[in-house]
Amino acid sequence: MTHTVMSGPGADPLVDLPQSLDDGTPSTSLHARIVDLLGLAICAGELASKSVFRIEELEERYGVSRSVVREAIRVLASMGMLASRRRVGVQILPASEWNLYDPQVIRWRLASPARIAQLRSLTELRTAIEPQAARLAAIRAPLADASELMGLAGKLWAAGQADDPEAFLVLDIEFHRLVLASSGNEMFAKLNTLVAEVLTGRTNYGLMPRHPHNEALQLHVDVASAIQRGNPEAAHEAMLGIMERAFNEMSSIWDGKSTQ
């Protein structure tokens, strides 16, 4: 097969990736795999900003139809990661153009060398939003949601004490999702996928404590209790405590003391 040539900085960044994906899987799966390969390459900087490639090059490299390649490019273009330029080709766009709230973009960035910067920006965003969501939940949450939060806090405590990271992750995602939803603010509620990605990323890349600290577990109980009691300031303070613990747990990573 002819060697694919990529123009611009970092020529042929896909040289080490599979030369063919046409293994009999449906075209929808093929396009999803190309989306994933290119998204990871862009986020990792292997496909440099402003570099250009042609649709024909991807057709040849992966042995797929033009319609499959065009669909993959359409998806990535909708995320702001690349753009088709007439008489030029497909150009990689700078990170400032990307939809940084897209769960796939977050996942790719967490899998890239930019992982620490992504975790820092996500945690800063959570710190700005989640304490306020908890405060509003203490004012607006239906009784059923408040009771469910108390139950989730108890299950989180049990999973943490049992050193069951898989169960802990599922419960932690659900706890924070319910706080956001109970705020009564539809914009906050839509951030639940973002929170799920950062919690999953921290767990998958070994950036969570091996054993949850009792203070962190207690803070989840405090958030739920404050919401159930209708105490907005206590709910805000307890959730802020959770965010501050997350910063402290990762501060050594951000300071360059770890390569993880």
Angle at CA of residue 216, ends 127 and 118, nearest 5°:
40
11, two tokens: 């020529």
Most trustworthy range by pLDDT among 75-79, 111-115, 204-208: 75-79
pLDDT at 174: 98
| Whether residue 98 has pLDDT greater than 90 | yes
φ/ψ (deg, to 5) at 84: -85, 125
pLDDT in tens, 1-41: 333 334 444 445 444 444 545 444 444 588 899 999 999 99
pLDDT in tens, 100-114: 999 999 999 999 998
The pTM (predicted TM-score) of the whole model is 0.83
* Helix residue spans in the chain (DSSP H): 27-43, 55-62, 66-78, 103-110, 115-140, 143-161, 165-182, 186-189, 192-204, 214-229, 232-254
| Whether residue 165 has pLDDT greater than 60 | yes
